Chain A
């Protein structure tokens, strides 16, 4: 009985402590990006790519917005893999979410087309 109370109060403390007030859903973005930046191997790259895809999917289920640059970064990774169709899709997603990205998305698209 007592232990239950303690567990519940600790749980409540934890939950209130972690009250989520962020605008966006970030997942482990900084961690996988850091690993990829520090050691750009195929493995760290695919881990970062998987994290970006996870962020986009989880944002939907958590009803949060995908952060600026996430769709763009995923698009760039598809470009390096030669998958231009997927890249264009994610570039457009970035532009839809954030009108501020219009010009640099257009710039990136032009580079993709030139390839």
Chain B
């Protein structure tokens, strides 16, 4: 018995070390099964030290989702609506049955996001912004997780003119006075790329065989 457990643990550790990539269809079968058309974005759960992270996320998430072919309910409107109901933090949304969002807005799916870290790093010749986030799309009809991705995105803010002094100054400026909106755009875009596309995208239903989904980042889905 103990041996079995050891062997099992060993296997888990081993498989954890490999980057296994699978197709979108293998990673997110529920998404292809239910084919949600519309997504409602709720406020993010912000576990980072950056107070701005949630607002940055909220104002840049509609674009990649819509460009992936989904109808996206106005994010500021949903935020206002929830606020009137006394819900400010994403954590509180967990207390609302998902079916409510179907009933009130006819939303097919709700996107939950936990922002785990948002760090700005600056070193002499370079700099970056590292964002770790967990995305979860849940069905309002079956309550199932349709799509899930857990990722760390590193966005380089270094200057790269080839001139060391100029680069150092450029990096310092870029990292200190950085406009985070484009970075939030990049982060959201990269994560949403793993999501199967929706009905307004020309590759709807035919992207199931697209490879490159890192199995470990899908973790507990299904």
Contact = CB atoms under 8 A, between A and B. Distances in A.
B29 interface: no
A-side interface size class: 20 to 34
Of B59, B70, B104, B201, chain A has the most CB atoms within 10 Å of the CB of B59
Contacts of B75: 69
A65 B87 CA distance: 33
A22 B64 CA distance: 10
**Mostly helix, strand, loop or mixed at chain B's interface?**
helix
Given A24-B66, A30-B60, A100 B71 contact: yes
Interface string B129-158: 000000000000000000000000000000
Interface string B52-74: 10011011101100110111111
Interface in B136-188: 181, 184-185
A73 B77 contact: yes
A107 B104 contact: yes
A31 B119 CA distance: 21
B-side interface size class: 20 to 34
For the complex of A and B, 6 pairs with smallest distance between CB atoms = A103-B106, A100-B71, A69-B74, A104-B105, A34-B59, A100-B38
Interface of B: 37-38, 52, 55-56, 58-60, 62-63, 66-67, 69-77, 80, 104-106, 181, 184-185, 200-201
23 contacts: A22-B67, A23-B67, A29-B62, A31-B181, A33-B76, A34-B60, A37-B55, A37-B59, A67-B62, A67-B63, A68-B73, A69-B66, A69-B73, A69-B75, A72-B74, A76-B74, A76-B76, A76-B80, A100-B37, A100-B38, A101-B71, A103-B105, A107-B104
Interface of A: 22-24, 26, 29-31, 33-34, 37-38, 67-69, 72-73, 76, 98, 100-104, 107-108
